């Protein structure tokens, strides 16, 4: 490995720790003192992705990263969010330890991850990956998303969030009891 600044190749490890399925190392070049990070990952048996037309293509972390980055472009996500999502998907794929996997299965993993991160990114990714050819299909996806969101909202019977709403109810009740 050569330093991007001075091109010198000798570096020393100043810190190393386990992350997900790999090791993260902090290194420092002996020549100029600039620091950088390397990741070491177990490269298990090659995974092939089954494309829609049945062609097989070697799984590429970079390709996955680019696709998700595109969907998350200019979204208010903390630095490293996308890398972490890709890390998780890669770890999941390793756990499955299959020789090949349909691209749709990986797409679903991305969708699931994005759903919890950012709705706009989710819709962007879905529109490319699910190949929305007409607006109706896109609308269906958004509707599903919204109805899922509603079912996960706090159960009924909780105190109203808006104080005005609460006092209004009380006022109405008082009016009724006065009659």
Between 1 and 19, whose beta carbon lies closer to Zn ion?
A: 1
C-beta of 35: minimal distance to Zn ion in Å? 10
Between 6 and 166, whose beta carbon lies closer to Zn ion?
A: 6
CB 20 within 8 A of CB 88: yes
Q: In terms of Cα–Cα distance, which of 134, 92, 95, 127 is closest to 111? A: 127
List, in order, residues 6 or more apart from 84 with CB less than 8 Å away.
none
C-beta of 40: minimal distance to Zn ion in Å? 21
C-beta of 83: minimal distance to Zn ion in Å? 24
C-beta of 36: minimal distance to Zn ion in Å? 9
Q: What is the dihedral of CA 153, 158, 160, 161, to 10 degrees?
A: -50
Between 34 and 88, whose beta carbon lies closer to Zn ion?
A: 34
| Residue at shortest CB range from Zn ion | 3
Between 29 and 125, whose beta carbon lies closer to Zn ion?
A: 29
The CA-CA-CA angle for residues 61, 57, 109, to 5°, reads 50
CA distance 6 to 8: 5
- Interacting residues with Zn ion (CB under 5 A): 3, 5-6, 29, 32, 34
């Amino acid at each position: 490995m050569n330093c991007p600044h001075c091109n010198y190749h000798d570096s020393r490890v100043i810190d190393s720790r386990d992350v997900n399925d790999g090791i993260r190392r902090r290194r420092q070049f002996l020549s100029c003192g600039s620091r950088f990070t390397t990741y070491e990952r177990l490269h298990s048996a090659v995974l092939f992705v089954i494309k829609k037309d049945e062609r097989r293509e070697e799984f590429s972390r970079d390709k996955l990263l680019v696709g998700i980055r595109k969907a998350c472009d200019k979204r208010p996500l903390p630095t490293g969010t996308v890398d972490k999502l890709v890390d998780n998907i890669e770890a999941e794929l390793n756990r499955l330890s299959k020789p090949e996997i349909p691209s749709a299965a990986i797409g679903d993993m991305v969708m699931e991850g994005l759903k919890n991160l950012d709705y706009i990114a989710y819709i962007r990714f879905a529109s490319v990956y699910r190949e929305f050819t007409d607006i109706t299909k896109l609308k269906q996806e958004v509707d599903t998303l919204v109805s899922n969101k509603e079912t996960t909202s706090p159960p009924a019977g909780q105190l109203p969030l808006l104080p005005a709403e609460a006092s209004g109810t009380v006022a109405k009740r008082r009016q009724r009891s006065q009659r």
